[in-house]
Amino acid sequence: MRNNNQKVVLCLAKKEYRSDRGRSIVLTGAVAFAVMMLFSVFSFASGKLQTDMLRSARQRGAVSNTTLERATQKQYEQIQELSYIRHTGKYIQFGNVFGNRAAVVDDVAWEKIKSPAFTDIHGTYPEGKMEIMFPVRALEMMGISQPQIGMELPVAIEFSEERQEEFVFRLSGYYTEYIDTSQYGPPDVYFSQAFLDAVSDGEEWDVTLFMRQDDRVTGRQVEQKLYRDIAMRDIKQRFFGNNTSVEVAVFTMVGGFDTLFMITVVILLSAGLLIYNVQYIFYERRIREYGLLKTLGTTRKQLCAIVFWQTAVTILRGSLLGMLAGGMLVLLVLPLLLSRMYLYRIGSAAGMITFRPLFLVLSVLFVSCVAFLCSALSIRHTMNLTPVEAANYQKLEAAYTGKSVYRQKGGGFRLWQMAWRNMWRFRRRFLVSAVCLTLGLLVSLGVVMLSHGVDTANEIESVYWDMWVNSDILNTDYYDISLGSHRKNDDGTITIFPQEFLEKIQALPGIAESAVTRGGFGQVKMNEEALALFMRDYEWPWWIDWATFVTAELSGEQLAEGRNLQ
């Protein structure tokens, strides 16, 4: 029974493969497209997630999510032992330098928590006693546009209101940060531990611990765990836990991990169905060939060898093409796209690893598995047919179709009837096609959503102006302290920025556009009953004994008219 003659099988496989170029091209194209699609989509999604995480980290100036103020050495050591905390770094702020924070961080805090949020880091973290590291923004404020490592800088440090001292430091490094100062305060100017020890004069500085938790642990969970595992030094000491960048990025992009999973399934299903559909169409054409081979004595194993060899060649060629196309897309286009769309004005995406070989390998593996599975299914189907059934497979179908069509011709032939009959007759094929088209549309919509719907360039554009002027309304001639409100014009309107001022701004060279934004605050007073109702649905942390409610009751018209502005 055994037959190990692989030569004839290989010969058949090769000759059959070469004989139908159209089929080979379409199948190879389908594999290439599926590999490219999967690799690009997952690379894009991963890149987008990374970008969001990077954006969030850059705006915060750190990749940590959780902090503990006034930490003790014991707490630091205990936290380092915790399995759900990946990195713990020490941070000490001991004063201010030109409006920036004068700080010292340990190796972990710099390497794992701070520096990943910065770009263009030149030089090294200060180690010598009189070494200093500046953010570029601070250097520019000092009038240094072209800093040199090793240059000497006279720096005045404000240790406290009473203590201010000036030193001359050697610039050991500088970095570019993108901290959103309105939310996270000014950037840090870094000093060495040696310098801090020298100027401390026995003073104990408050140590803040920056912690980077495991990505699977939410901010709420990490707080609960930390309060459970670490003893607080006093009642005022608190942990501040935030969700990880991964969670925030996933939530921002698609709404949550469950949606991400669903989208992943839909994308995989689309690629799988594409391969299945194309292979199925060509398989139907080949059933007669398989039937003939079976008649001539080709066993299941030999048929498997023929079909699997052809599938392997198709996958190899398709995967190479898909890898090439996907690789080019991911390496050349994606970083550009991500930088322009999501990292606008907060650094480039050039340093990000958007090309992930693992995605490529997984894409090729998935497509290969589907292709081999489809081939195995077609062999199984063929082997379940007798040679006669295989030989007549298409004949029967064609004969049946023809017969029905012609019969209708005499009695008033309708195209839609033919379409309906065909649809009903080939229900399975119709269903697969319908699902394929639906998934195709879904994926297309998903791509549009990903590339445009979550494009934050506009949001950044609107939030981060090149320059803005705040009216310090309390210190202008337009605010009447005795009245506690703006002085109204004769026509009842309020002027915060005089027209002449706005015109002067507009006339400045380089100003392309300007706008005036006005806002207001409102306060809602609630009685205890109403408050209890609100509090019932929210589990407040134990230390919260107050809350601020922001309302949006004022309409645009009211704001424009200046009514109710208090």
Task: Tell me the sheet residues that pair with 494.
Answer: 488
Which of these segments, 7-15, 190-198, 451-459, 541-549, binds other proteins (CB under 8 A)? 7-15
23 is an interface residue for other proteins by CB under 8 A: no
Number of H helices, E strands in the chain: 21, 12
The pair phi, psi for residue 6, each rounded to 5°, is -85, -15
Which of these segments, 107-115, 157-165, 225-233, 380-388, binds other proteins (CB under 8 A)? 380-388
Which of these segments, 3-11, 66-74, 130-138, 365-373, binds other proteins (CB under 8 A)? 3-11
Query: Angle at which helices 21-60 and 245-254 pack, to 10 degrees?
Result: 120
State which of residues 67, 72, 218, 299 lies at the interface with other proteins (CB under 8 A): 299
Within 10 A of 329 (CB to CB), how many other CB atoms are there?
Answer: 17
Q: How far is the CB of 17 from other proteins (least distance, A)?
A: 9
State which of residues 383, 435, 442, 554 lies at the interface with other proteins (CB under 8 A): 383
Between residues 7 and 409, which has the closer beta carbon with respect to other proteins? 7
Which of these segments, 227-235, 387-395, 412-420, 544-552, binds other proteins (CB under 8 A)? 387-395
3 is an interface residue for other proteins by CB under 8 A: yes
Q: How far is the CB of 347 from other proteins (least distance, A)?
A: 58
Between residues 82 and 418, which has the closer beta carbon with respect to other proteins? 418
Q: How far is the CB of 30 from other proteins (least distance, A)?
A: 22
Residue from 447, 356, 263, 368 nearest 34 by CA: 368
For other proteins (CB under 8 A), the number of binding residues is: 31
Contact in structure between 205 and 94 (CB atoms under 8 Å): yes
114 is an interface residue for other proteins by CB under 8 A: no
State which of residues 74, 216, 220, 301 lies at the interface with other proteins (CB under 8 A): 301
By CB under 8 A, what part of segment 481-500 binds other proteins?
A: none
Q: How far is the CB of 278 from other proteins (least distance, A)?
A: 21
Q: What is the dihedral of CA 147, 150, 152, 156, to 10 degrees?
A: 80
The pair phi, psi for residue 461, each rounded to 5°, is -60, -40
As a whole number of angstroms, the distance between CA 501 and CA 511 comes to 14
As a whole number of angstroms, the distance between CA 172 and CA 191 comes to 10
79 is an interface residue for other proteins by CB under 8 A: no
310 is an interface residue for other proteins by CB under 8 A: no
Within 10 A of 10 (CB to CB), how many other CB atoms are there?
Answer: 13
Q: Give the distance, in angstroms, between the CA of residue 314 and the centroid of all CA atoms in the same chain.
A: 33
Q: How far is the CB of 294 from other proteins (least distance, A)?
A: 6
Within 10 A of 270 (CB to CB), how many other CB atoms are there?
Answer: 23
386 is an interface residue for other proteins by CB under 8 A: yes
Between residues 26 and 385, which has the closer beta carbon with respect to other proteins? 385
Pairing assessment for the beta strands 100-105 and 152-158 based on DSSP bridges: unpaired
Q: How far is the CB of 15 from other proteins (least distance, A)?
A: 4
Helix, coil or strand: residue 377: helix
Between residues 395 and 487, which has the closer beta carbon with respect to other proteins? 395
Residue from 260, 258, 257 nearest 268 by CA: 260
Q: How far is the CB of 333 from other proteins (least distance, A)?
A: 41
Which H helix or E strand runs over 209? strand 207-213
* Beta-strand runs (E) in 65-206: 66-68, 85-97, 100-105, 119-123, 131-135, 152-158, 164-176, 188-191
388 is an interface residue for other proteins by CB under 8 A: yes
As a whole number of angstroms, the distance between CA 388 and CA 394 comes to 11
Between residues 225 and 294, which has the closer beta carbon with respect to other proteins? 294
379 is an interface residue for other proteins by CB under 8 A: no
By CB under 8 A, what part of segment 279-298 binds other proteins?
A: 289, 292-298
By CB under 8 A, what part of segment 392-431 binds other proteins?
A: 400
Query: Angle at which helices 300-328 and 21-60 pack, to 10 degrees?
Result: 40
Contact in structure between 387 and 291 (CB atoms under 8 Å): yes
11 is an interface residue for other proteins by CB under 8 A: yes
Between residues 292 and 328, which has the closer beta carbon with respect to other proteins? 292
Q: Which spans of this chain sit near other proteins (rule: CB under 8 A)? A: 1-5, 7-8, 11-12, 15-16, 18-19, 289, 292-302, 383, 386-389, 400
